[in-house]
Chain A
Amino acid sequence: EPEVTQTPSHQVTQMGQEVILRCVPISNHLYFYWYRQILGQKVEFLVSFYNNEISEKSEIFDDQFSVERPDGSNFTLKIRSTKLEDSAMYFCASRVDSSNEKLFFGSGTQLSVL
């Protein structure tokens, strides 16, 4: 069964550094999302992406965050200058099209900012 894949599985960085989290959505999916989950808390929406542009973003997704689909397969989340509070598990998700609501999540990237 096709899966959303994410790399790396763990990322450790120093505060103030830039990180890029990578995702390969399921190949025929058109809608892409990033969510995050701080340890022990609920999953929070960050951003949705469709047709090469952001369709919606949350208050968390400030100017330090950006997303990109640089080619036909990858979907990336960049954090320009990481803060301690950015430490969380980041999940990528994708959905096939507008007629199907099911979101499929990747296995996540655990980001630790020191």
Chain B
Amino acid sequence: GENVEQHPSTLSVQEGDSAVIKCTYSDSASNYFPWYKQELGKRPQLIIDIRSNVGEKKDQRIAVTLNKTAKHFSLHITETQPEDSAVYFCAPSVGDYKLSFGAGTTVTVRA
């Protein structure tokens, strides 16, 4: 099965700074690369995703970059705000879009 690793496991940033989370995966057949945000006690919510034929995608303050050769993709959050504090999960998938979640990164934005 897919082996997914996220780094770092925790990230503390000053409000206004950038945050970057990296996700590595093992299955070269993975073709869909989403990032989910989960606030305490809430459902995972899709914040951005990218397909294997695209290298980068941006949506306002959030961007995802994909390096298929190296089998990793990263989440970039710019101009962080307190409401960005949450746990972020990468969840690459193959085929029937069975998501394989990483262990999560707890992001804390300090005001």
Interface residues of A (CB under 8 A from B): 31, 33, 35, 41-45, 48, 50, 55-56, 91, 95, 101-108
**How many residues of chain B are within 8 Å of chain A by beta carbon?**
22
* Contact in complex: B42, A107 (CB < 8 Å): yes
Bound-state CA distance A44–B44 (Å) is 12
Chain A, interface SS category: strand
* Contact in complex: B45, A105 (CB < 8 Å): yes
Question: Binary interface profile of B, 88-111, with partner A (CB < 8 Å = 1, else 0)?
Answer: 010101001111111110000000
Bound-state CA distance A100–B80 (Å) is 30
Interface residues of B (CB under 8 A from A): 32, 34, 36, 42-46, 49, 51, 89, 91, 93, 96-104
* Contact in complex: A95, B97 (CB < 8 Å): yes
* Contact in complex: B44, A48 (CB < 8 Å): no
* Contact in complex: B49, A101 (CB < 8 Å): yes
Q: Which residue of A lies closest to B33 (CB)?
A: A101
